[in-house]
Chain A
Amino acid sequence: MPCRMTSLHQLLASVLMMAGLVGPAAAEDPNGARRKALHNMVVQDCGSCHGLTFKGGLGSPLLPDDLEGVDDSTIATIVLDGVPGTPMPPWRGLVSESEALWIARGLKAGVFQ
């Protein structure tokens, strides 16, 4: 992820955002109750196939190391459309495109561990 921090203040804000403490960083990021619900969904419901700690299960491991070099948008597309012919289901309708991107960034940053 490219880093364009202009001040310490912003850096701090983004660290806190990644830790899931404050947010959102981008206007379209989920906030408040919705972000909490999404966070829980990623841990629990993605976790039921990928492992609660994302070390993998029926689904592949989704740790930051596993996703290194994969674009946010590629991950978001997998989340939205699933992987046909495998148990990875499409989440479109349950999460929006911007939420899928937020999940992608969160997975790569290890926010959900």
Chain B
Amino acid sequence: MNLLRGLTVLIATAVWCLTAAADTALRGTGDLGVIIERADGSACIISTTERAILSCVDGLGDLSHASAVFSPDQRYAYIFGRDGGLTKLDLLERKIAKRVIQGGNSIGGAISDDGTLVAVSNYKPGGVKVFDATTLEQIADIPATYGSEGKLSKTVGLVDAPGRRFVFTLYDAGEIWMADFSKPGAPAITKLGTAGKLPYDALITGDGRHYIAGLFGEDGLAHVDLWAEEPVIERILDGYGKDDPAMPVYKMPHLEGWALAGDKFILPAVGHPELLALDAVTFKEAGRVKVHSQPVFAIARPDGRQVWVNFAHPKNDTVQVVDVPSLKVVHEFKPGPAVLHMEFTPRGHEVWVSVRDADRVDIYDARSFEKRGELSLRKPSGIFFAARATRTGL
């Protein structure tokens, strides 16, 4: 009797393990995503339909500041680790498909519009490396050399631009470069010029037209119109903070998740508790929103009507929601200690929020703000949904 029961349990467990390791049922991946457990070097595959963790995959190295991009078929996530690790994660098989250590210290990456190239932005050695998306074999190495001594600059703000191009910014050199892979052979590198002092991050708009770099060392931003025959850098919002003393920035803002609502872009200010609104046609200031503290992410709901904002240490327990047409804060709440990231479902009905020090990810209705669920994860940070595969710059 006991033996029989034991056998049943054993078989049940074996079956469960098999199905857990790889769901044998046919399924799509459009509603899947990845959440980084930054302290454990693990990436958890989640389903937004089931609001559940499907499986956590270990062995991805140092994932502080990790981010992910997705293959066009939305089956694979490419995860960029701080320690230079580039991991190709299979969302269906729920395991690492390939992994290389491509640099010493890196800060994120991008995938080309045709899905064949994965580029990684490196602090050490400063520059960008480009890999074959299938094999992760290196295709190009672009050292970010500057100055007469040929020093290498840290690179930031690496994005994909239409036409198999990548655009990125040199933190130490203050320059913006473009690498064009549209022709076979070595990429054509164009130095677009000087952005300003200490550019810390950049974004590209969803239409692939505007590249905007934020500056830490100056009050202003750098803008490039990539539709121009010969793109040039122009400074925008110069002196936006000159009337107020700057406050210390305990976490650098991110410029991913640009918000375009009708006629405005919304971006976090640096050293000021404000969001900056930019006129999307003239690139002149179109207003400001006073917010709780130094904003980190200002992420638009996919329809662009509202922007969700989180904040730097030590005021990072709060989220505010800004109505874009009126530039007013319409909702504020405190999910818990250290809100690090927010990700909307592709059509914006729900938003997932990582609350690092509560070891939790919360799921909210993005219109009523009601909580729909929560998942427990260890020190969760970045949340990345597979639908990013279909969007330029994400």
Seen from chain A, the residues whose Cβ lies within 8 Å of a Cβ on chain B are: 40-41, 43-45, 47-49, 51-53, 55-58, 82, 85-87, 89-91, 94
Contacts and interface: CB of A to CB of B under 8 A. Distances in A.
B62 A44 contact: no
Contacts of B314: 94
B216 A57 contact: no
B123 A45 contact: no
Contacts of B313: 41, 45
B141 to A, nearest CB: 20
Nearest to A43: B39
B249 A87 contact: yes
Given A49-B252, A53-B83, 10 more contacts: A47-B64, A48-B251, A52-B62, A52-B82, A56-B105, A57-B65, A57-B107, A58-B171, A85-B217, A87-B200
Interface of B: 38-39, 62-65, 82-83, 104-105, 107, 123-124, 154, 171, 198, 200, 216-217, 248-252, 313-314, 338, 356-357, 379
A87 B171 CA distance: 12
A55 B62 contact: yes
Contact of B124 (A43, A52, A56): A56
Contact of A52 (B38, B123, B217): B38
Main secondary structure on chain A at its contact with chain B? loop
Contact of B83 (A55, A58, A82): A55
A8 to B, nearest CB: 34
A100 B232 CA distance: 45
A57 B64 CA distance: 9
A49 B104 CA distance: 15
Which 6 A-B residue pairings sit nearest by Cβ, starting from the closest? A89-B248, A52-B64, A45-B313, A53-B62, A47-B64, A89-B250
A47 B154 CA distance: 17
A79 to B, nearest CB: 12
Given A44-B357, A58-B154, A58-B200, A51 B252 contact: no
B281 to A, nearest CB: 32
- From B124, B217, B250, residue with most partner A Cβ within 10 Å: B250
Nearest to A85: B217
A57 B338 contact: no
Contacts of B198: 86-87
B15 to A, nearest CB: 38
A49 B22 CA distance: 36
Contacts of A53: 62, 64, 82-83
A52 B65 CA distance: 9
Contacts of A87: 198, 200, 216, 249, 252
A51 B356 CA distance: 16
B249 A57 contact: no
A51 B250 contact: no
- From A43, A52, A85, residue with most partner B Cβ within 10 Å: A52
Given A40-B357, A41-B313, A87-B200, A51 B217 contact: no
B251 A45 contact: yes
Given A58-B252, A87-B249, A89-B248, A48 B357 contact: no
B62 A90 contact: no
25 contacts: A41-B313, A43-B39, A44-B379, A45-B250, A45-B251, A45-B313, A51-B62, A51-B64, A52-B39, A52-B62, A52-B63, A55-B62, A55-B82, A55-B104, A56-B123, A57-B105, A57-B123, A58-B154, A58-B200, A85-B217, A87-B216, A87-B252, A89-B248, A90-B248, A94-B314
A38 to B, nearest CB: 12
Contact of A51 (B105, B249, B251, B338): B105
A94 B293 CA distance: 15
Contacts of B62: 51-53, 55
A57 B251 contact: no
A86 B357 CA distance: 27
Contacts of B252: 48-49, 58, 87
Nearest to B105: A56
A34 to B, nearest CB: 14
Contacts of B357: 40, 44
A63 to B, nearest CB: 12
Contacts of B124: 56
